[in-house]
Structure 1
Amino acid sequence: MTMDARATAVPADQNLTRSEERQVVLASTLGTVFEWYDFFIYGSLAVFMSSVLFPPDNPTAAVLASLGALAAGFVIRPIGAVVFGRIGDLVGRKYTFLITIVMMGGGTALIGFLPTYASVGHAAWISLVMLRLIQGLAVGGEYGGAVIYVAEHSRPDRRGLLTGWIQITSSVGLALSIAVIIGTQSVMSEADFKAWGWRAPFIISIAMLAFSIYVRAKLHESPVFTRLKAERRLSRSPVRDTFARWSSLRLVLIALFGVTAGMGSTYFTGQFYVMIFMQQIARIDLQTSYTLMAIGLVIGAPAFVFFGWLSDRVGRKWLMMTGLVLSALCYRPMFSSLLEAANPQLVAATRSAPVTVHADTTSEACRFGLAAALLSSHGDHGKPCVQAKKLLIGSGINFSYAAPVDGQAVAMTVNGKTIAGYDAAAYRKALSEAGYPAKADPAKVSSAYIVFLLVVMTVIVAMVYGPVGSFLVEVFPANIRYTALSFPYHIGAGIFGGFLPFFATYLSLAVGDVFAGLWYPVVICTVVAVIGSIMLPNRPQIETDH
């Protein structure tokens, strides 16, 4: 008798052995490890890919365009959630998330084999964008299938614990990608890595893909789906039943605005934007920032499983709401402490020699719109005033605004010296003379304290992210669960979370404060915490097989 046949014959409420639980969890977590591994290596290696796959005449635009391909993958995730959610509710959990891992993993591996712009022209970057779109579609169906598959195999009193292993995979994927990148860079020269070595982390993923397919192919179908199919209780149109019926749509909206929007914001702030902050604002070198981040993730990652386990005992809702409130209250002071620990010379210069930008912020000459934050080709990027602000914020330097200098769209004053117009070289020279460092001094980086802050951020993220998988499974009826769960999750993670760096850039440039971008997650987490506290049930009454 095959494994699938045995699964059909076994009663759906039969408890799994610990060995069977481990197999289910392992097979389900592999895909989400893959998802975050791919996300991080792509974001980290975008600057190298851009020099090979995009036109070489404008390096800055090429980097931004390669990051735009990353954003395109986020935008399409909710569509993938609906497409694969429908398949998962009609055909089954197992086969759907077997398809998604093949598409997702195959796309990651193929990026490593893409031809260069020099050899095939525009077909190089067009192929990259197409692969990112395919991956985005697949990711839209991956998480929902994984967390549902685990939850539908779990006893109610172990559901949070076992789905918590799905949540930990984001940190595992990031840590794994850091290790692979650092390992690859260590065995070759900088020139070789820039020319071709960046492909290795993508190609290495083939081994991960092969193992993932092998493990998932051996799985049986979810017992809950098997029961629904046997009892003829499957939805004939999961998309219609999810979005055209108010009772179901109401649950989707509550899940989105009561938890997943905040989940995405707090996650991407505490696990992704913090690394951008260390590199671009605190000016820590890449190798050090990767190492510190990896250590923080490894130490803090068990918190995802812990809070999943704890939610089985005290309920999911208030753990998640507490995490959102802590995010809103603590991110700003923690990032301030992070900057001081990473680059005390920069903080000291900011206090002793504050920078002033002379410009009319209401004029078109200094306007930097939200559209410009999302589009690298937008005309606002070429304005001297905007370029001046980008140079300062990109160097981790706060500034205040003052009245414009006659005849100039922008001018900068630091340490009593005013430079009219925008002159990048003159700006950097004046800033250096005023004590602003170009990079963080490695001898003055407080590594232990930074790791401590990163661990605390991971724990706060885990309070929300650890219980959320089991919570979402319990909220939605089984016959539309794949569709209904995946959509709000990927709106929260892909849109509210994925676009955080763009909105953070916009806010920082508009205000002149490197910390202003944190208002984005602070406001979202606050609003979501209020809505969730009012609307979410602490222990959803819908059981996984009802």
Structure 2
Amino acid sequence: MAVNLELNQRDTGKQTISPAQAKKAVIAGTFGNIMEWYDWAIYGYFAPVIGQLFFPATDALASLLLSFAVFAVGFIMRPLGALFFGPYSDRVGRKKALSLAVILMGISTFVMGILPTYEQIGILAPILLVIARLVQGLSAGGEWGSGTSFIVEYAPESKRGFYGSWQQFSTGAGLLVGSVVATVFTTIFSPQELSAWGWRIPFLLGIIVGIVGLYLRMRIDETPKYKEIAKDTKVSKKPLLDTLKNHPKEILIAIGFTIHWTVSYYLLLTYMPTYISKVVNLPMSLSLLSNVIVITFFISLVPVMGWLSDRLGRKPVLISSTIGFALLSYPLFSLIEHSSFVIILLSQMLLAIFEAAYSGPGPAAIAEVFPTKIRASALSVGYNISVAAFGGTAPFIATYLISATGDNTSPTYYVIACAVISMLVLFGIKETYKEPLK
């Protein structure tokens, strides 16, 4: 399918947006998101190395658990980031919120790259690491709601699924860039070189990433939908209060909607390299290579699934994802545990198809629930609460379940339960793909 981000020239009622302006805005928005999610993801890929350097323990599994606990700590800050950035975006605009978010992410990632280790400064090392991760979480919490609002509000009504899918494409692309970097570094450096200094370089690149992302976002225009309500003085002065007071049911829907999405996403695309290397005992370089291939395959399908939801509806595509994970997670994890590299890769790719079926229509489907004047606040709060509670803790829970039960397939029970919860939510919500944005 040819990817076409061109918009027909259209009148918002207050201004006319040319195809060139819209294309520039969507590309800049997604590219900035790639930059930010590279910064966010790189920690997950180097978690085994970070665990050894910042949380030394006689038990390698204990170090890994502590490292993933810090990974989860970043997610705890996401609701706080949502509480700040969501209302900020609804009050002053999507552009300013997105620019501030990328600055915080670039600086905090760079700081991680220059931190002394536990051997050098003792307990202060993990404390500083946690603080840097908290700032990353604050930034990531502000990114999703504003970024999704930005892209969906630029989309033609008949293409919101396709346009919204590029938000998730760019998130996956950021993970892909991080995965490629991790794969290259674990291949060209020995384990000793990687532990001594090699792991720092991907984090130090965070400052460049931040500068590029900021440059792109400062050059984009505000969304036509937001300009329209701003011109008519319909901008909410207290968007967070308006959201909590007038849309509590919709926030609960957003939380339930996101549970399956975030758990399956982070287990498949972030945790899986660690699972394959530590549990299946494949070399780290091979597990990262499979992850690069899987993420590439995944992001290539995301726009296709978004496009499909513009034709079939959001719900059929989304529900197919929950059914796929509920039925196939256990048998595929069993295959991964006892198979060759090729079978492991094919199993991951099959799961990636169902992950793309949720990630493609997901941004548009959840954005269509809320009106423009509080959309960024509502998306930020509902989505990030779910991500913090379920997604950020997913690698930790998966590692703990294996440790506690001795069953390497035990993480699938968590995946299946989350898929069923979101499936029930989907059956209860209204189809919105043919309706205008509120």
TM-score normalized with structure 1 length: 0.73
Cα offset for 1:187? Answer: 4.3
**Mean alpha-carbon deviation: is it higher for 48-57 or for 31-40?**
48-57
Cα offset for 1:10? Answer: 8.0
CA deviation profile, 1:175-233 (whole Å, cap 9, x unmatched): 21122123234444432221111100111233222211111111111111111111111
Contact map agreement 1:264 1:494 (CA 8 A) in 2 = no
Cα offset for 1:332? Answer: 1.0
Match of 2:392 among 470, 490, 498: 498
CA deviation profile, 1:397-430 (whole Å, cap 9, x unmatched): xxxxxxxxxxxxxxxxxxxxxxxxxxxxxxxxxx
Aligned: 1:522 with 2:416: yes
2:288 maps to a residue whose letter is Y
2:168 maps to a residue whose letter is Q
Distance 2:289 2:276 in 1: 12
The residue number in structure 2 matching 1:409 is: none
1:488 maps to a residue whose letter is G
* CA pair 114-307 structure 1, distance change in 2 beyond 3 A: same
Cα offset for 1:300? Answer: 3.0
The residue number in structure 2 matching 1:467 is: 361
The residue number in structure 2 matching 1:153 is: 154
1:501-512 aligned within 5 A:
501-512=395-406
Distance 1:541 1:479 in 2: 21
2:373 maps to a residue whose letter is N
Identity across the alignment (%):
30
* CA pair 13-461 structure 1, distance change in 2 beyond 3 A: farther
Contact map agreement 2:81 2:141 (CA 8 A) in 1 = yes
The residue number in structure 2 matching 1:33 is: 34
Distance 1:514 1:501 in 2: 13
Contact map agreement 1:52 1:195 (CA 8 A) in 2 = no
The residue number in structure 2 matching 1:210 is: 211
The residue number in structure 2 matching 1:485 is: 379
* CA pair 196-305 structure 1, distance change in 2 beyond 3 A: same
Distance 1:206 1:80 in 2: 20
The residue number in structure 2 matching 1:411 is: none
The residue number in structure 1 matching 2:16 is: 14
1:525-536 aligned within 5 A:
525-533=419-427, 535-536=428-429
Distance 1:125 1:446 in 2: 35
CA deviation profile, 1:492-511 (whole Å, cap 9, x unmatched): 33321221233334444554
Contact map agreement 2:176 2:295 (CA 8 A) in 1 = yes
1:249 maps to a residue whose letter is P
Contact map agreement 2:186 2:284 (CA 8 A) in 1 = no
Distance 2:50 2:398 in 1: 24
Contact map agreement 2:49 2:199 (CA 8 A) in 1 = yes
The residue number in structure 2 matching 1:336 is: 334
1:142-221 aligned within 5 A:
142-221=143-222
* CA pair 451-64 structure 1, distance change in 2 beyond 3 A: closer
CA deviation profile, 1:15-52 (whole Å, cap 9, x unmatched): 541x4333222222234323432343212223333444
* CA pair 222-272 structure 1, distance change in 2 beyond 3 A: same
Contact map agreement 1:15 1:155 (CA 8 A) in 2 = no
1:100-115 aligned within 5 A:
100-115=101-116
The residue number in structure 2 matching 1:98 is: 99
1:317-332 aligned within 5 A:
317-332=315-330
Cα offset for 1:53? Answer: 4.1
The residue number in structure 1 matching 2:7 is: none
Distance 1:518 1:91 in 2: 42
Higher helix share: 2
The residue number in structure 1 matching 2:5 is: none
CA deviation profile, 1:213-265 (whole Å, cap 9, x unmatched): 111111111111111111111112111111123xx1111112222x2112112
Contact map agreement 2:17 2:224 (CA 8 A) in 1 = no
TM-score normalized with structure 2 length: 0.90
Distance 2:186 2:264 in 1: 30
Structure 2: runs of 5 or more not aligned: 1-10
CA deviation profile, 1:456-494 (whole Å, cap 9, x unmatched): 111100111111101111110111101101112112333
* CA pair 293-51 structure 1, distance change in 2 beyond 3 A: closer
